[in-house]
């Protein structure tokens, strides 16, 4: 068997197209422009690339884009002051602090200082609680992107066995909540899980989010299962480097029914969902109907 490749790049372009249509309508009918502010502290090269892409795509869908680039040694008080200003700015509907932050900054404190209604990353403790209790919240972008691809591929996920490998607050835990919300039977597996290969072999849906290059081989995958690879690992490739996921693509693609590639799978959906969340936040802030199909 050779798996169907789920093209995240094409799907993300479609999502951004829907967002752009809604943004144009908001402008025409309500004289409103959604605004997204991205805060970057320090000079991490990968973060700089992601922040540049976010700004470019924000403008491409017709939204207002604001960037705050702060020195790596910025104090917590100064960072909190930037966030407080953005919280108070009525033209800004979404605020995102690019992670990881330099080690001297308390990530939880910083994230929880963002107005939960503008927390388009869905990392604020209030949004975590709302998602966990099945209430309307801002949903973290990467898991939301995975859910959209799964719904698009399967239609209903009800009754399916899903295994999420990884228990991070940013991906693993919210992914499990979303799958539960769609009535999957969900297992969260991690580094201490006993008999991990057997646990994964039971799954109709495998979401790999461990951050270990090519950790999941094809013989862990149930024939026909859907494999969503969240990993983005840069590994040596001769004199250069290449990107690989958390699953061994070649062997998993032989067994799976469908699989996301790396690059071009989950990654592009992260930024598309960030734009979708900013649009949703703008609609909620103004008491307008939310766009359909762009949130959980």
Q: Is 191 annotated as a binding residue?
A: no
Residue 138 DSSP class: -
How far apart are CB 260 and ligand LMY7XDAE at their closest, in Å?
A: 9
Residue with tokens 């996921």: 245
CB of 96 to ligand LMY7XDAE, least distance (A): 5
User: Which residues make up the interface to ligand LMY7XDAE (CB under 6 A)?
Assistant: 50, 96-99, 121, 141-142, 232, 243, 262-264, 267-268, 270-271
Rounded to whole angstroms, the Cα distance separating 185 from 164 reads 11
284 labeled part of a ligand binding site = no
> Cα torsion for 85, 113, 93, 144, to the nearest 10°?
150
DSSP string, 160-215: -EEEEE---TTTHHHHHHHHHHTT-EEEEE-TT-TTHHHHHHT-SEEEE-S--TT-
Distance CA 271, CA 240 (A): 26
CB of 244 to ligand LMY7XDAE, least distance (A): 11
Choice between 11 and 50, CB closer to ligand LMY7XDAE: 50
CB of 47 to ligand LMY7XDAE, least distance (A): 7
CA-CA distances (angstroms) from residue 15 to 7, 19, 99, 294?
13, 6, 23, 8
Residue 158 is labelled as binding a ligand: no
Termini Cα distance of the chain: 32
Report how far residue 205's alpha carbon sits from residue 238's, in angstroms, rounded to the nearest whole number.
33
User: How near is the Cβ of 252 to ligand LMY7XDAE at its closest, in Å?
Assistant: 16
Q: In what order do the strands lie in the sheet with 35-41?
A: 64-70, 35-41, 94-97
**DSSP output for 12-35:** HHHHHHHHHHHHHHHHHHH----E
The residue (of 32 and 270) whose beta carbon lies closer to ligand LMY7XDAE is 270
Q: Which is nearer to ligand LMY7XDAE, 32 or 174 (CB)?
A: 174
Partners of 37 in beta bridges = 66, 95
Q: Secondary structure of the chain: what % helix, strand, coil (to 5)?
A: 45, 20, 40
Report the residue closest to ligand LMY7XDAE, judged by CB.
267
Q: Is 25 assigned to a binding site?
A: no
Which CB, 26 or 51, lies closer to ligand LMY7XDAE? 51
- By C-beta, is 3 or 160 nearer to ligand LMY7XDAE? 3
Q: Just list the catalytic residues.
A: 54, 98, 121
Alpha carbon distance 293, 267 (integer Å): 19
Q: From the annotation, which residues make up the binding site for NADP(+)?
A: 166-168, 232
């Amino acid at each position: 068997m050779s798996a169907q490749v789920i093209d995240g790049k094409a799907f993300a372009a479609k999502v951004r197209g829907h967002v752009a249509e809604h943004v144009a309508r908001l402008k025409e009918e309500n004289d409103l422009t959604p605004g997204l502010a991205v805060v970057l502290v320090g000079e991490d090269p990968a973060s700089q690339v992601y922040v540049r892409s976010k700004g470019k795509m924000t403008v491409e869908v017709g939204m207002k884009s604001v960037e705050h680039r702060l020195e790596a040694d910025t104090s917590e008080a100064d960072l909190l002051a930037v966030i407080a200003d953005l919280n108070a700015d009525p033209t800004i509907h979404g605020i995102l602090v690019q992670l990881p932050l330099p080690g001297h900054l308390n990530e939880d404190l910083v994230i929880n200082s963002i107005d939960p209604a503008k927390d388009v990353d869905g990392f604020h403790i209030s949004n975590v609680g709302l998602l966990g209790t099945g209430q309307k919240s801002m949903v973290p972008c990467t898991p939301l992107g995975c859910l959209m691809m799964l719904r698009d591929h399967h239609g209903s996920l009800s009754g399916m066995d899903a295994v999420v490998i990884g228990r991070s607050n940013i991906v693993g835990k919210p992914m499990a909540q979303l799958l539960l919300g769609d009535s999957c039977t969900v297992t969260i597996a991690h580094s201490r899980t006993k008999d991990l290969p057997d646990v994964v072999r039971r799954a109709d849906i495998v979401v790999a989010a461990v951050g270990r290059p090519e950790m999941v081989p094809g013989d862990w995958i149930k024939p026909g299962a859907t494999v969503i690879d969240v990993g983005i690992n840069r590994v040596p490739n001769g004199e250069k480097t290449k990107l690989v996921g958390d699953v061994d693509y070649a062997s998993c693609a032989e067994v799976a029914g469908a699989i996301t590639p790396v690059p071009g799978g989950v990654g592009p959906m992260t930024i598309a969902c960030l734009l979708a969340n900013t649009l949703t936040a703008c609609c909620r802030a103004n008491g307008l109907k939310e766009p359909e199909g762009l949130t959980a």
